[in-house]
A = this chain, B = another copy of it.
Amino acid sequence: MTKEFFTVTPQEEVFELIPGFKTVGKETVSLQETCGRILAEDIISGIDVPGFARATMDGYAVRAASTFGASESGPAYLTISGRVDMGCTSNINIGPGQAARIATGGMLPKGADAVVMIEHAAEFDETGLEVYKSVAPGTNIVAADEDFSGGQKVLAAGATIRPQEMGLLAAIGKTGVKVFKKPLIGIISTGDELVEIDREPSPGQIRDVNTYSLFGWTLRAGARPATYGIAEDNYEHLLEICSRALYETDMLLISGGSSVGIRDLTLEVIAALPDSKVLIHGIPVRPGKPTILAKARDKAIWGLPGQIASAMVVFDRVVAPFIGHIGGNALFSEKNYRIPAILTRNIPSVHGRTDYVRTRILEKNGLYYAEPVRGPSGLIRTMVEADGLIEIDMNTEGIEKGEQVSVIALR
């Protein structure tokens, strides 16, 4: 065993490496399968939407000018010339002093330029209508291209498809959508102390937690996990598994190397992979300093800390943006909102290092409070009890109780 001497790379510089990794391929899926997927094509609407002027209220289609000056005390008198049926073109032609019954969503008949709400009018006989309120042209209608017009770019490649984007795609008849494939992430655990989870650990052994938590984190990052089980702590076995996984997947997560010995072994194995280059050996974050990033076959290979909570924090804060990038997610980091909360006790921190403090989020009288979870990063419960992470930047030395902190929610 030797003392550890590795140079650390600041987190911003780590993120500068992101564009160096290439995005995965594309595939076409049915609209029903797009929720949460990343769009891989710009979407140009072929049509105007809604496609025709529509009523947005139940009422009467009119020429607005026919209602000018109308009031409760001096209503305008109009003649009802018919009713607009839903889903079809009406033959009605609205002239001055005329009105047609129309329901929300109905197509505005020729000649009409506004809708009087049903609440602002009364029918006094078969065809007679009193209107109590003047409407301006365009009132209570949407124009034929008010949602979007034919030829318009309505979504850009790289956007995440949420339910509302699914609705938009439905509106323009997009039944098959080109999306980025979900990156396939290889997960390898190392450590002679690890046993498969269905085995009873002997003294000195623990179950392989990281494979399962990283499995979950990978799913949460919009990717697909491929697990490779527990690699023995020896060069040949680890190299064989890593070589295979590098060939089969888009990115590799090797976890378990918190001890200097295993870390050295992991480094040695990574260096032996074809055309590999170690880019990062240590990041000034806590937990997670002994993180390794290498590149081989144009893919990212991560040596993650073996400490349970460290591996999860590094995944969420460092690895996930890389997965976002290779998965084509153009706005990955932008939509990561932080929740301001009031710190409930002092937390120490060291200059020159970014700290991620696991924290509960409590709500009281409409304010959020951040209550740090105590315990070393080898304990799972510190992450289970955490609703979020407080980020303390490199230039801040500790934060005092009562100060406001930004919390990253862990969902």
Chain A residues bordering chain B, tally (CB within 8 A) = 109
Q: Which of B103, B148, B162, B375 contacts A381 (CB 8 A)?
A: B148
Instruction: Digitize A80-122: 1 where CB-to-B-CB distance is under 8 Å, 0 elsewhere.
Output: 0000011111100000000001011111000000000011000
Q: Are A361 and B337 in contact (CB under 8 A)?
A: yes
Q: Are A383 and B167 in contact (CB under 8 A)?
A: yes
Task: Tell whether A147 is near chain B: CB-to-CB under 8 Å.
Answer: yes
Asked whether A379 and B142 contact (CB < 8 A) given A85-B192, A164-B312, A214-B163, the answer is: yes
A207–B205 alpha-carbon span in the complex (Å): 59
A364–B138 alpha-carbon span in the complex (Å): 36
CB distance from A311 to the nearest CB of B (A): 9
Closest residue of chain B to A306, judged by CB?
Answer: B105
Q: Are A308 and B191 in contact (CB under 8 A)?
A: no
Instruction: Digitize A38-58: 1 where CB-to-B-CB distance is under 8 Å, 0 elsewhere.
Output: 000000000001111010101
Closest residue of chain B to A46, judged by CB?
Answer: B200
Task: Tell whether A301 is near chain B: CB-to-CB under 8 Å.
Answer: no
Asked whether A88 and B202 contact (CB < 8 A) given A216-B162, A368-B337, A378-B56, the answer is: yes
Instruction: Digitize A208-248: 1 where CB-to-B-CB distance is under 8 Å, 0 elsewhere.
Output: 11111111110110000000000001000000000000000
Q: Are B411 and A162 in contact (CB under 8 A)?
A: yes
List, in ascending order, chain B residues with CB within 8 A of A36's CB.
219
CB distance from A323 to the nearest CB of B (A): 13
Task: Tell whether A165 is near chain B: CB-to-CB under 8 Å.
Answer: yes
Contact residues of A between 350 and 371, Cβ < 8 Å to B: 361, 363, 368
A306–B86 alpha-carbon span in the complex (Å): 13
A→B interface (CB under 8 Å): 1, 3-4, 31-32, 34-36, 49-52, 54, 56, 58, 85-90, 101, 103-107, 118-119, 142, 146-148, 154-155, 161-175, 191-194, 197-217, 219-220, 233, 258-262, 306-308, 312, 334-335, 337-340, 361, 363, 368, 375-376, 378-381, 383-384, 386-387, 409-411
22 inter-chain pairs at a CB distance below 8 angstroms, sorted by A residue, are A35-B215, A36-B219, A58-B259, A85-B192, A86-B192, A87-B204, A88-B202, A103-B261, A104-B307, A105-B306, A106-B193, A142-B378, A146-B375, A146-B379, A161-B216, A162-B410, A163-B214, A163-B217, A170-B197, A170-B213, A335-B409, A335-B411
